[in-house]
Amino acid sequence: MKVGFIGLGIMGKPMAKNLLKAGYDLTVNDLMKEAVEELVAAGAKAASNEEIGRTCDVVLTMVPNSPQVKAVMLGENGVANYMRPGTTFIDMSSINPMASKEIAAELAKKGIEMLDAPVSGGEPKAIDGTLSIMVGGKKEVFDKFKPLLSAMGASVVLCGDVGAGNTTKLANQIIVALNIAACSEAFTLAKMAGVDPEVVFQAIRGGLAGSTVMEAKVPMMLEGNFKPGFKIDLHIKDLNNAMDCGHSIGSPLPLTSIVLDFLYNLHKDGRGQDDHSSIANYYAKLAGTAIGE
């Protein structure tokens, strides 16, 4: 099986490396030539999008949002123009599920199958190959490519038809954002009340309030370390997609809209490239004290 991978950013590069480690015949492309060179040094081949379309049995993308996926696949020189009928496109980007359905419909006219397979876990889990992968598409296509996806993730779940993967990812991103905001609010309260946030963390992490989000993000808040595993600006994109999807189907998202406002404020303060744990800095600005001070 010849695999093409387009998009070698924070997430895509380690995901592609894990495909190499699993022994896949991998061809890559990205706008950042340094990333391409790094993958070639690890054993991949470099090629243009056209060459990837012509030669690969399955093409994966990991790019920022819906417009980029559409441009890569359906644009004037899009990969789909060169893919053979019977080949498959797997989009691992996090985009609006309505866009996934639109892309799948266009690809179906060319005889190309599609899965939408966004991921959760951030850079650390992308590196160690333990991402959670949420997939939408036909079961027979999912079954065929589950081993490929399992080379990048510890959990690979078929959630429904095309678009279901990204709907599941939007639900995930809402829960993560609200959880980070809740931790930021709670630990700021502890700090201002004169109780050591580190002690509070140790006291509650094993109880009902404990979560994967708390375990991953509160230590960063305590250290004042906001090196991005998942950037504020990317979470803005995801929550905007959630809002767009919610509006289109009439689903209420009042808490999501509030946390999205926090993220926009952080972006305006120059923190868009911070990790999303930087929501703690929104509270620090309001409170005049940081959790980790």
Is 169 among the residues known to form the active site?
Answer: yes
Look at the block and give the residue holding tokens 């991978």.
Answer: 5
**For residues 52 and 41, what is the distance between their CA atoms, to the nearest angstrom?**
18
| Contact status, residue 201 vs residue 155, Cβ threshold 8 Å | no
Q: Which of 125, 169, 191, 237 is catalytic?
A: 169
15 Cβ neighbours under 8 A, 6+ residues apart = 5, 62, 92, 119, 126, 131, 152
3-state secondary structure of 219: helix
Which amino acid, 153?
G
**For residues 12 and 96, what is the distance between their CA atoms, to the nearest angstrom?**
19
Q: Give the Å distances, CA to CA, from 27 to 65, 94, 113, 274.
A: 22, 22, 19, 31
3-state secondary structure of 133: strand
The residues that are catalytic are 169
